[in-house]
Amino acid sequence: MYSDKVIDHFTNPRNVGEIENADGVGEKVSSSCGDRMKVFLKVENDIIEDVKFQTYGCGAAIASSSMMSELVIGKTLQQALDLTNDQVADALGGLPAPKLHCSNLAADALHEAIKNYQETNA
Amino acid sequence: MKRIYMDNNATTAVRPEVMEAMLPFYKEHFGNPSSVHWAGRETGAALEAAREKVAKLINCAPAEVVFTSCGSEGDNLAIKGVADAYRDRGNHIITTAVEHPAVLNSCKYLEKHGFEVTYLPVDGHGMLDVSSLEAAITDKTILISVMWANNETGTLFPIEKIGAVARKHKICFHTDAVQAIGRVPVDVDAAQVDLLAISGHKIGAPKGVGALYVRKGVRLTPLVHGGHQERNRRAGTHNLPGIVGLGVACELADADLRNTAQRLSAMRDRLEQGLLAAIPESQVNGHPTMRLPNTLNISFNYIEGEAVLLFLDMQGIAASSGSACMSDLEGQSHVIDAMGVDPMMANSAIRFGLGYDNTEADVDQVLEILPNIVKKLRDMSPFYHERDAAKATANS
Ligand code: FES
């Protein structure tokens, strides 16, 4: 039911963890299943230097968090803000329909973290 | 990688003796048992022999066994069939909140057609209170439908006590015994059951065959109309190979019920104690003692069940989270939910269903692998990292 990419990111998730004194922290709870994702950012000169995440959720949610982190490290804040939920799912080689909402967590939690960074550094 | 199957509550492998017995009925003995010629007579005898074997396992008369296509059909036939046949007496049905979807959805269907259904709650162990069942009876009650054993937790309901209540009030009593058959002794007479559904593929017979026990004298409107098969209670040409297989599976279950139950419960208990010891903040869902010998439903706080299942699957271990029929749906199991289990615990519930083919080595393997899976997922979980803070707030 899951693509090889999903299984790969689920089995070996990249960038799991927490950044001490993160520049931005954001989180998102899925309204449909209660699963939860937390994102930590390190930002320098408008560039995302590092992303770490913690996820409580299904295989698709964990794989989406991992993929999201890979997609935005080294990108500008604006590029990260432009990342959509669909792009995360596409990068994973697609998700089964009932699991599409899981990928929503990833981009949304990331955007929350960026918002938090921008508010504290305004 | 050794593959381990621990999802026998979802379905079982066909037992070799069952397979062997079925094969001749596909090609050599293929006659329609309803035919009068030699080919039909031959299979007609096999059909009745299978009926006797099913009857013996549950202690009823062969004429009281109606062959069906599965457990769901048996449940549907019992509930809708009784509802229709006894409509003149009343329109009230009593069941529980933790039934299989075959029962719950049959009841929901009847609600749309003017019936009233009481869904009794269960306690934290998934147990039913018989006095509240009795209190729910009205002069309109025509059917009580309570499962023998729960498919997700294995909790065994006090069927004999419920049977006595039903008999006292002269109400039909149906039980979905799909998970109980072949795992615990089932005696329709001792339990005063009027209708009881069996499924072949949970006891080593193939998929596509089942049976419904219907006590003599109970009125029943058929679901499938057509020929005169099964004394007009279920039309359609018999699935003879499947029925022969079901007969043999019942015979085998009858012969080794006690030994199998003892062997499985010893393995199950070792699995349960090993996991509880190795994984802190875990809990068993279901009744501590009144439980099927093969079933373990266990939760590991702070993580989510599907992720556990995927990791187990990647290491060759097949288990399930909740009922297999529900696994493609969102959200929590209605059974665990009805037990009032904390939602995060409920979300991580994993069900192991042991079967004939499981060995001690299988249990060792799961005990070796699962604690690492839980650790890996907890390391990823924000709730796990925040739990000390959460506990401190809860205590302050
Ligand atoms: S089911 Fe909740 S995030 Fe996937």
Give the domain extent around B314: 4-9+257-395
Interface predicted TM-score (ipTM) of this complex, two decimals: 0.94
Q: pTM of the entire structure? A: 0.94
pLDDT beyond 60 at B328: no
- Provide the pLDDT for residue B293: 98
| Mean per-residue pLDDT, B344-348 | 92
Q: CB-CB: which of B303, B328, B329 is closest to A56?
A: B303
Looking at residue B316, what DSSP letter applies?
T
Same domain, B382 and B349: yes
Average pLDDT over chain B reads 95
Task: Measure the CA–CA gap between B96 and B103, rounded to whole angstroms.
Answer: 9
Q: Does B11 touch chain A (CB under 8 A)?
A: no
Both B134 and B71 in one domain: the answer is yes
Predicted local confidence at residue B389, as pLDDT: 75
- Tell me if B200 is assigned to a ligand binding site: yes
Is residue A102 lining ligand 1, measured as CB closer than 6 Å? yes
pLDDT at B235 over 50: yes
pLDDT tens digit sequence for B248-291: 999 999 999 999 999 999 999 999 999 999 999 999 999 999 99
Per-residue pLDDT for chain A (122 aa), expressed as one digit of tens each? 899 999 999 999 999 999 999 999 999 998 888 899 999 999 999 999 999 999 999 999 999 999 999 999 999 999 999 999 999 999 999 999 888 888 889 999 999 999 999 999 87
Contact A21, A97 (CB under 8 A): no
Q: Between chains, do A11 and B314 touch, taking CB under 8 Å as contact?
A: yes
Chain A CB within 8 Å of residue B347 CB: yes
Residue B12: pLDDT over 50: yes
Indicate whether B325 and B351 sit together in one domain.
Answer: yes
Q: Which of A37, A55, A65, A101 to mutate to test the pocket of ligand 1 (most atoms within 8 A of CB)?
A: A101
Q: Are residue B226 and residue B304 in the same domain, yes or no?
A: no
Shared domain check, B380 and B299: yes
Contact B330, A98 (CB under 8 A): yes
Active site residue A58: no
Note whether B94 and B237 are same-domain residues: yes
Per-residue model confidence as pLDDT tens digits over B64-76: 999 999 999 999 9
pLDDT of residue A99: 87
In which band, very low, low, confident or very high, does the pLDDT at B392 lie, cut at 50, 70 and 90? confident
Query: B211 and B267, same structural domain?
Result: no
Judging contacts by C-beta atoms under 8 Å, the chain A residues touching residue B306 are: 58-59
Residue B209 has which token pair? 């065959």
**Domain segments of chain A as ranges:** 4-120
Predicted pLDDT of residue B357: 95
Give me the residue label for tokens 């074997």.
B53
Question: Any chain A CB within 8 A of the CB of B380?
Answer: yes
pLDDT at B113: 97
B217 interfaces chain A, CB cutoff of 8 Å: no
Whether B220 and B337 share a structural domain: no
Q: Which amino acid is at B37?
A: H
pLDDT of residue A122: 73
Domain containing B353 — which CATH number? 3.90.1150.10
B254-260, Cβ contacts within 8 angstroms, sequence gap of 24 or more: B254/B53, B254/B56, B254/B57, B257/B182, B257/B183, B257/B184, B257/B185, B260/B182, B260/B183, B260/B356
Q: Say if residue B208 carries a ligand binding annotation.
A: no
Please state, as a whole number, how many other Cβ atoms lie within 10 Å of the Cβ of residue B20.
12
Closest CA to A27 of A46, A63, A52: A52
Helix (H/G/I), strand (E/B), else coil: B225: coil
Q: Is B325 a catalytic residue?
A: yes
Same domain, B320 and B172: no
Most ligand 1 atoms within 8 A of CB, residue of A9, A10, A35, A88 to mutate = A35
* Counted domains in chain B: 2
Exactly one of A80, A102, A105, A107 is catalytic; name it. A102
Same domain for B186 and B311?
no
DSSP A49-76: EEEEEEEES-HHHHHHHHHHHHHHTTSB
Residue at token pair 């967590």:
A105
Q: Are A101 and A85 in contact (CB under 8 A)?
A: no
- Band (pLDDT 50/70/90 cuts) for residue B326 is very low
B247 in the same domain as B305: no
Please tell me the predicted confidence (pLDDT) of residue B325: 52
Closest Cα to atom 4 of ligand 1: A102
Order of strands, sheet of B116-120, starting from the edge strand that comes earlier in the sequence: B65-68, B210-214, B195-199, B172-176, B141-145, B92-96, B116-120
CATH 3.40.605.10 fits A4-120, yes or no: no
Give the pairing of strands A47-56 and B65-68: unpaired
